[in-house]
Amino acid sequence: MLLLLLLLLRLSWSLKCRTYMMKFKPNQTRTYDGEGFKRRAACLCFKNEREDEVLLVSSSRHPDQWIVPGGGMEPEEEPCGAAVREVYEEAGVRGKLGRLLGVFEHNQDRKHRTYVYTLLVTETLEDWEDSVNIGRKRKWFKIDEAIKVLQSHKPVHAEYLHKLLNTCSPTYSPLCNPTNGNSTGSQVTDINAPHYVVCSTQGSDLVSR
């Protein structure tokens, strides 16, 4: 294991000039972009096309708190596919992926860059990966209620919803077809263009999941 870790560290050093780097953690490999930001993806999951109710899940670290489902991208994974996979694992839902709402940055301590999409829920599983493994819960909230719930302990997640309120009318198209939680293809182009970065937060903690 130690030899493998040293090998991976050397590989990460040699890949500095590439668009992302990889780091190894127990049971998971996460990716980092060329600026050292951890690459993440998340979805605002809605009950209907009016986007007036959003699905939040309980935090694995703080079960009495609610968060937006999302997590780190895997190697070679597109943001689109990562977002669909994360909501499948954490919230147990499938649906139609909508627009890229924006890319949100967290710059203190551990740096994160999160691609946030909208998703119209079409299927809700009774039991899903995180509900079985860690007892994660989910709950529908009205948008204003969700903002209040998130503002105290996850202000960057509340920013997703503030951004939602300032965007154009919702549109949903099969950017990803989440048949099993994985992406079958992405139509989002120029995904790493800097103009997608819409929010930079300084005081929130994305890693307390």
Separation of alpha carbons 175 and 24, rounded Å: 29
Structure tokens at 117: 């999409």
Among all chains, which residue has been given the structure tokens 């509340």?
A: 158
pLDDT at 60: 87
So what's the pLDDT on residue 19? 41
Residue-level pLDDT at 193: 33
- Hunting for tokens 């529908």 — which residue is that? 140
Task: Quote the pLDDT of residue 16.
Answer: 37
CATH of domain 29-168: 3.90.79.10
pTM: 0.71
Cα distance between residue 77 and residue 20, in whole Å: 11
pLDDT of 34 reads 87
At 186 the pLDDT is 30
β-pairing, 66-67 vs 20-25, is unpaired
89 classed as catalytic: yes
What string of DSSP letters covers 98-148?
EEEEEEEEE-SSS-EEEEEEEEEEEEE-SS-HHHHHT---EEEEEHHHHHH
128 touches 82 (CB < 8 A): no
What type of residue is 145? E
Q: Where do the domains of the chain lie?
A: 29-168
State the Cα–Cα distance between residues 105 and 115, nearest whole angstrom: 9
| pLDDT score of 196 | 33
Catalytic member of 51, 89, 105, 123: 89
Q: What is the pLDDT along the chain (209 residues), one digit of tens a residue?
A: 655 554 554 544 444 333 444 434 444 677 888 888 999 999 999 999 999 999 999 998 899 999 999 999 999 899 999 999 999 999 999 999 999 999 998 776 678 999 999 999 999 999 999 999 999 999 999 999 999 999 988 999 999 999 999 876 555 544 444 434 443 333 333 333 333 333 333 333 333 33
Does residue 209 contact residue 156 with C-beta atoms inside 8 Å? no
**pLDDT on residue 15:** 41
pLDDT at 29 (0 to 100): 75
Instruction: Please identify which residue in the block is written with the tokens 């993806």.
Output: 41
